[in-house]
């Protein structure tokens, strides 16, 4: 379909050319307006048989005859069009318009190898011939030679910097190749030219998204909507971009629009549920995570997410229930055990904390933060040697997250003073000793 459309444009561009013949009567009937395409075709045929025409003018007569044929009821008779162009080129071998037109006819017949050869002949005569690079690129694309197609589309943008469709195709192909900077520039030019602005903003937004520039992605998705991009999934793309830049109110607005439109893909509720959580709309957050569980009840993540909200709301028993389901569904995920340990800690069930954190460390031996929290649980169980052993491992672990957590806790308890960053291990050791001696550590 795409190739035939390009061919139609070729015919329109060149079939209206005129010549000046010695045979005045046929000149009028062949080239002047007012006759039907069939009448024009017949008149041009008579001119080609004239003995008074030079070879060049006979070539032009055959060329125009092909043009009239293309506009007649014989539009599908590409072989007849090619035959007339063959004759034109016999009389004038360097007749570039006829070469271009014949390349288009072969293109219309899906004979892309022949068409490429014809467009190449055109470009040999004139490397800047309008749309020759573009049409040859379409043929290369049809033959799945993407390298040659992209090279020709790029050449077309140089020859004709106003060919918006060529820039658009460059953008699409560079997106496929992860050439996001080139794609962004190409789609920007398409937008400047006022062509396919809705799709170009959308595609440029996807390129920004792929580069991790979510602010620009969201801006382009907004512009795409303003330009008339009608696919409801644009709100999914923009919502996900907003989610990446912590614009949670906007996430909620876009995903709510999707829900209202009947969209029901599970992860929508995870992202909106998390956005509600960040906006402290906890009940709406729980409702979304509950919907996610209904849509994908065998996925442990839904239970863990809902437990996160319930923990924040102080509903520790409900959070523990959710995390226990998550563990049953995915017993190899240390996060589920870690989060359940946190809830057990809130309830003062320190033996359960030690048990869950021990499993965390079996699954993820490098998680030094679990060691610190287990050390606190041991301390609260008065297992001092075990607590100190865990704290010592944290200090020597090199884990910035675990040491930061330990420092913050000791500052809060008054065992360390001032800025917690860069506290020497000796100071931490003294803080540990203070903790061991304090019943409220």
Q: Per the domain annotation, does 185 fall within a domain?
A: no
CB-neighbour burial class of residue 218 (10 A; exposed 0-12, middle 13-18, buried 19+):
buried
Is pLDDT of 4 > 50?
Answer: no
Q: Per the domain annotation, does 281 fall within a domain?
A: no
Q: What is the pLDDT of residues 246-262, one digit of tens each?
A: 999 999 999 999 999 99
CB proximity list for 318: less than 8 A, separation 6 or greater = 307, 310
Measured distance CA(183)–CA(157) in Å, rounded: 13
Measured distance CA(97)–CA(114) in Å, rounded: 16
Q: Per the domain annotation, does 229 fall within a domain?
A: no
Domain region containing 146: 1-160
Predicted confidence band at 14 (pLDDT cuts at 50, 70, 90)? Answer: very low
Residue pair 370/386 in contact by the 8 Å Cβ criterion: no
Proportion of the chain above pLDDT 90, given as a percent: 69
Q: Per the domain annotation, does 231 fall within a domain?
A: no
Closest CA relative to residue 42, chosen from 25, 59, 54: 25
pTM across the whole model: 0.80
CB-neighbour burial class of residue 114 (10 A; exposed 0-12, middle 13-18, buried 19+):
middle
Is pLDDT of 431 > 80?
Answer: yes
Is pLDDT of 363 > 70?
Answer: yes
Average pLDDT of the residues of the chain: 88
Instruction: State the DSSP code for 232.
Output: T
Residue 20 has a pLDDT of 40
Residue pair 370/357 in contact by the 8 Å Cβ criterion: yes
Q: Per the domain annotation, does 255 fall within a domain?
A: no
Q: Per the domain annotation, does 67 fall within a domain?
A: yes
Domain stop point among 136, 160, 184: 160
Q: What is the pLDDT of residues 400-430, one digit of tens each?
A: 888 888 988 998 888 988 666 666 778 888 8
Residue pair 140/152 in contact by the 8 Å Cβ criterion: yes
The Cβ of residue 6 has, within 10 Å, a number of other Cβ atoms equal to 18
Q: What is the pLDDT of residues 66-88, one digit of tens each?
A: 877 766 655 558 888 899 899 88
End-to-end alpha carbon distance in the chain: 75
Q: What is the pLDDT of residues 85-127, one digit of tens each?
A: 998 899 999 999 999 999 999 998 999 999 999 999 999 999 9
**Domain containing 48 — which CATH number?**
1.25.40.10
Widest Cα–Cα separation across the chain? 119
The Cβ of residue 45 has, within 10 Å, a number of other Cβ atoms equal to 17
Q: Per the domain annotation, does 125 fall within a domain?
A: yes
Number of domains the chain is built from: 2
Residue 46 has a pLDDT of 62
Domain stop point among 145, 160, 175: 160
Domain stop point among 144, 160, 176: 160
Q: Per the domain annotation, does 334 fall within a domain?
A: no
CB proximity list for 199: less than 8 A, separation 6 or greater = 168, 224, 229
Mark out the alpha helices in 15-95 (DSSP H runs). Answer: 24-31, 37-48, 55-71, 78-91
Q: What is the pLDDT of residues 196-242, one digit of tens each?
A: 999 999 999 999 999 999 999 999 999 999 999 999 999 999 999 99
């Amino acid at each position: 379909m795409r190739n035939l459309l390009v061919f139609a444009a070729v015919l329109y561009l060149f079939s209206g050319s005129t010549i000046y013949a010695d045979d005045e009567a046929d000149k009028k009937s062949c080239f002047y307006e007012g006759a039907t395409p069939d009448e024009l075709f017949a008149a041009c045929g008579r001119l080609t048989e004239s003995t008074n025409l030079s070879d060049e003018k006979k070539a032009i007569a055959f060329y125009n005859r092909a043009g009239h044929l293309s506009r007649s009821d014989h539009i599908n008779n590409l072989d007849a069009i090619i035959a007339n162009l063959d004759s034109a080129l016999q009389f004038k071998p360097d007749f570039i318009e006829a070469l271009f037109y014949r390349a288009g006819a072969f293109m219309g017949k899906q004979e892309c190898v022949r068409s490429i050869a014809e467009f190449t002949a055109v470009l040999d005569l004139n490397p800047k011939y309008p749309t020759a690079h573009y049409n040859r690129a379409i043929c290369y694309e049809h033959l799945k030679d993407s390298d040659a197609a992209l090279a020709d589309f790029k050449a077309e943008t140089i020859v004709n910097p106003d060919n918006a469709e060529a820039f658009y195709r460059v953008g699409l192909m560079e997106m496929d190749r992860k050439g996001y900077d080139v794609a962004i520039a190409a789609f920007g030019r398409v937008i400047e030219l006022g062509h396919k602005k809705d799709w170009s903003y959308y595609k440029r937004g996807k390129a920004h998204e792929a580069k991790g520039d979510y602010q620009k992605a969201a801006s382009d998705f907004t512009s795409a909507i303003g330009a008339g991009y009608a696919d409801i999934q644009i709100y999914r793309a923009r919502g996900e971009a907003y989610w990446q830049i912590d614009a949670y109110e906007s996430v909620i607005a876009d995903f709510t629009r999707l829900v209202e439109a009947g969209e029901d893909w599970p992860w929508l509720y995870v992202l909106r549920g998390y956005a509600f959580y960040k906006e402290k709309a906890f009940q709406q957050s729980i409702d979304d995570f509950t919907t996610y569980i209904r849509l994908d009840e065998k996925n442990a993540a839904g239970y863990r997410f809902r437990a996160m909200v319930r923990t924040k709301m102080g509903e520790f028993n409900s959070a523990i229930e959710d995390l226990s389901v998550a563990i049953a569904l995915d017993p190899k995920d240390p996060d589920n055990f870690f989060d359940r340990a946190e809830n057990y800690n809130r309830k003062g069930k320190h033996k359960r904390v030690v048990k869950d954190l021990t499993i965390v460390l079996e699954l993820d031996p490098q998680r030094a933060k679990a060691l610190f929290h287990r050390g606190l649980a041991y301390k609260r169980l008065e297992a001092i040697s075990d607590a100190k052993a865990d704290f010592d491992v944290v200090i020597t672990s090199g884990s910035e997250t675990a040491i930061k957590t330990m420092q913050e806790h000791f500052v809060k308890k008054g065992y360390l003073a001032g800025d917690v960053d860069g506290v020497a291990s000796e100071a931490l050791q003294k803080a540990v000793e203070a903790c061991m001696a304090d019943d409220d550590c």
